[in-house]
Structure formats: structure tokens, C-alpha cells
Amino acid sequence: MIEQRAKSKGQRARKIAISYQRSAVSGQQGIALVMILILAAIALAIMAGLIYMITAGTQISGMQKRYKTALDAGFGGADVSYQLIAARGDPFIPGIPLTFNITSPCLTDKLNKETADWDSACDKSITVSPSYYDMYFDLGTIGYPTYRVYSKIVDTVEGNSGADEGLISKGVVASGSGEVTVVSMPYLYTIEVDAENVANPAERAKLSVLYQY
């Protein structure tokens, strides 16, 4: 009887030990599953971050490229504005078809008079856009993005360096030792330039230029 009781106790002890081992193994498996899920979530977050960085970098590179193209078009518009000023408003610049949005008196005033002396009908605002401009022209060829460049003179400081249509050399009096040379005072023009893609006006660049003539 005593031996049977001892055997039953031993069997119960073995059962308890086996049950404990099984619960310990089950607990370890549960911890391993949680760790795997955590590591998988971290790896997924890292991969998502890398994909976002690559996508954002590509988008930023594209935007910078398009902006640089629009900026170069704006520089071209500024150069054409310089030629127009040098030609004293002559619209027939070879190879550059210009479209004007101002009348001839306003263009003459902007090129030769102080801003305060411009005709009241002349636009003096610093805004340059498809609705407010002095002239525009298109850059580009068929099959490539075409940029429309708007230009406007918004301020003029009068000088004495403009081309003279009268006497361009010496007068009727010979120069002598007492002749006083006139100090050259150049005209100063503030020009606003807006270059934008015709197909996508949001792709644009603006320039503010102070030009000495």
C-alpha cells in the first residue's frame, strides 16, 4: 500500500514536471513570436522609409530640373529686355518675335523718363504675370517644352547715357583745354521677368533685375 502511494506520488511529480516543461516551452515560443513580429515591424518601417526617401529624392530632382529650365528661360528673357533697352524700344530685334502689351508712349516714357514722370496710364506695379506685362516672347521648339517669358519695366532712374540721335561726336566747336567733360550718369532700370511653361504655368521662375544702361 505504501509502495503504491509512493508510485502514485512519483507519477504525479513526473506529470507536474512534464506539464511545467511544456508550459515553459510554450512561453518561450510566445516570446519568440512577439520578437519576430517586432523585428518584422521594424524591418517594414525601415523599408517604407527607404522607399519614401527614394521617391521624394526623385520628385525633388525633377522639380529642381524643371525649375532650372524655367530659370534659364528667365535669364533669356532678361537678355532680350536688355536688347530692347539698348535698341531704345525698337521692337524689330532680329530673330525675336516680341508681343507688346503697352502703347508706344508708355514704352518711350519707361525708357527715357523717371518713374514719377510716366504717363498715368502706364503700369507702375511690380507685378508681372500673363495679365501685367510690357512684352512677352516664346522660347522652345515643337516637341519640347515651350516657355513664355513676360517682362516689364517697373522703375526707371533717368540718366544721360542713352543713345543720342543728334550729334554723336564732336560739335562745331573744337575741344580745348578748358572743355568740361560731362560725367556719365547711366540709366537704371528695374525689370521684372516671369518665365513659365505654356503647358504647365505652375512650372515657373521669376527674376528681379537692376539693369544699368
pLDDT tens sequence across 152-179:
999 999 888 755 554 445 555 555 566 6
Do the Cβ atoms of 150 and 131 come closer than 8 Å?
no
Please state the length of the chain. Answer: 213
Query: Where is mean pLDDT largest: 8-17, 92-101, 148-157?
Result: 148-157
Half-sphere exposure of 203 (CA within 13 A, CB side): 19
Task: Give 145's contacts (C-beta < 8 A, 6+ positions apart).
Answer: 69, 197, 198, 199, 203
Residue corresponding to grid cell 510566445: 30
pLDDT one-digit tens code per residue, 9-43: 555 555 555 555 555 555 555 677 778 888 889 99
Cα distances (angstroms) measured from residue 40 to each of 26, 28, 201:
21, 18, 45
60 sits in the region (left: phi over 0; alpha: psi -120 to 50; else beta) called alpha
Considering only residues 209 and 180, tell me which one the structure prediction assigns the higher pLDDT: 209
Task: Supply the DSSP symbol for 203.
Answer: S
CA distance 161 to 8: 121
Does residue 181 sit in helix, strand or coil?
A: coil
Domain map (residue ranges) of the chain:
2-161+186-212
Query: Of 130, 126, 134, 132, which is closest to residue 148 (Cα–Cα)?
Result: 130
CA distance 62 to 96: 29
